[in-house]
Structure 1
């Protein structure tokens, strides 16, 4: 199943997560349903998202580090709280810390329900890290595995 706020086509693209949230239905309801559907099956859940959008390089690294630390702790509630707190700081040109936050919340919750215990961040970079990358306006990226 693909849950995405980025490049993968999945449930988020038909607006399921946004509608649930707008209607006051917690994301963990979808995670619970997903977990029950996949229990005992050999399945892969993919959540795709970019991290920070458009701040300058150093601010992106700070914002992305907050997301990476919360994901590494396997704690969707802390992830949401940490991102909300950081966005309140009004960092110039920081439009979002994770455009696919909903899919990531669902993935973290569902993975826990399915018995996952570990998170490993495989790679972090932002668009300013590549040759000729513009460090004045970047987008962050992270790859992580949960099992």
Structure 2
């Protein structure tokens, strides 16, 4: 399983990596600096590429394609709509929380509560079954 961190702040990227180490979670991490870069990475590496299992950790407030726009895009994409996404943001706004859950996020965590996220993510790493994205015989991605 690969973690896809969608984050534009270098310090927050390092905080995420340190939290993983602290909680003894040693997954491969791919980083995208905004939603557009994340969509491209997911399509290239998980829909068209060899990787299959992934979890997205999404910041909401980014330049370029922000987190809400990213969620709109993947939820409308037949290949990516089943992606498991956890929001990891500084926003405590009720509107952001509501909009994220309307787009079927697996959880909404503030960056100040990253330890809670790590506690929640541990069972996913250890045994939760995730939907996979695969290619059909025509080369189009399809969800299994």
TM over 0.5: no
Higher relative strand content = 2
TM-score, scaled to structure 1 = 0.32
Task: Point out the structure with max Rg over C-alpha.
Answer: 1
TM-score, scaled to structure 2 = 0.32
Question: Which one scores higher on RCO, CA 8 angstroms, separation ≥ 6?
Answer: 1
